[in-house]
Amino acid sequence: QQQVKQSPQSLIVQKGGIPIINCAYENTAFDYFPWYQQFPGKGPALLIAIRPDVSEKKEGRFTISFNKSAKQFSLHIMDSQPGDSATYFCAAIEAQGAQKLVFGQGTRLTINP
C-alpha cells in the first residue's frame, strides 16, 4: 500500500522555470516531511524538510508548501538550473513513532539549458 503518492513521474522544464512536484499522504500520524535529491549513482541527499504546523518553508531556491487539511505538500524550485536535474523524492515519517521514512515514487526532473 503506497502511503505517499508523488507526481509527476517525470518533468522537463526550461532553465529559469519553476518546476513543481506534488505529494499526498493518508497517514495523519506523519509529522515530518523531508525532500531528498538524488543524482545517478549517488545516495539521496536531504534537501529541505517541513513540519505540519508550518504552511511554507524556503531554503535558497527551494520552497515547500504544505496543506495540512488536504494532506498534500509540494516542492518548488525557483530559477531552476541544469544542475538541478536529478530525481527528487518526497518522504514522510512519524517522528514520535515508527521512525522509518516512507518515500514517494520519485520524480525525474530535467532542466534544459
Nearer to other proteins among residue 17 and residue 72 (C-beta): 72
Which parts of this chain interact with other proteins (CB under 8 A)? 6, 32, 34, 36, 42-46, 49, 89, 93, 95, 98-106
Nearer to other proteins among residue 19 and residue 44 (C-beta): 44
The C-alpha cell 522555470 sits at: 17
Nearer to other proteins among residue 65 and residue 94 (C-beta): 94
Question: Alpha-carbon distance 93 to 110, whole Å?
Answer: 27
CB of 39 to other proteins, least distance (A): 11
CB of 8 to other proteins, least distance (A): 14
CB of 19 to other proteins, least distance (A): 18
108 closest CA partner among 25, 40, 33, 23: 40
Residue 105's contacts (CB-CB under 8 Å, 6 or more residues apart) are 2, 5, 6, 9
Nearer to other proteins among residue 4 and residue 111 (C-beta): 4
Residue 96's contacts (CB-CB under 8 Å, 6 or more residues apart) are 31
